[in-house]
Amino acid sequence: MMKVELNVEMRDLKTKKKVLGAISGLLGVVAMAAEENKITVIGTADPIKICKKVRKVWPCANIISVGQEKEAAKKEVAKKEESQPTIEQIDWAKAYTTFYSYPTTHYYYPYQEPPYYV
């Protein structure tokens, strides 16, 4: 895992949301943190692609440093991944009924032949 630090001059919370939203869409991004004018991205994504994506949203972005992350951050990420339920632990019937909780009403009208006039 690599740790990429970017210098982005973010003026307000709206800009910060835009930048973090753009970064979160990249493949290989595991964690993000934003401070005043500094964004830290942890993952396997290419630093150049991260910077290009940020520049599409907010043009003043520069790479400060690229390096390996510390072991403490790796342990936190591993702990979060372990806490997520696996496919075997999810009760699919319960999840399906809560998602589709509205009852459906079916109306049945018996078929009647039209009267024949002779």
Tell me the pLDDT tens digit for each residue of 49-73: 999 999 999 888 899 999 887 765 5
37: containing domain: 2-77
Residue 64 lies in a domain: yes
Q: Given this model, what pLDDT does residue 40 score? A: 92
Name the residue among 63, 50, 46, 45 with its Cα closest to residue 8.
63
| CATH code: domain of residue 7 | 3.30.70.100
Res. 76 pLDDT band, cuts 50 70 90: low
Q: Please enumerate in sequence order all residues whose Cβ is within 8 A of that of 101, keeping only pairs 6 or more positions apart, or say none.
A: none
Q: For residue 95, give both structure tokens.
A: 């999840």
Residue 100 lies in a domain: no
Residue 84 lies in a domain: no
Q: Given this model, what pLDDT does residue 73 score? A: 59
Residue 58 lies in a domain: yes
- The answer to whether 41 and 24 are in contact (CB under 8 A) is no
Q: Give me the number of domains the chain comprises.
A: 1
Residue 96 lies in a domain: no
Q: What is the mean pLDDT of residues 78-98?
A: 60
Residue 20 lies in a domain: yes
pLDDT tens digit sequence for 16-48? 899 999 999 899 899 999 988 899 999 999 999
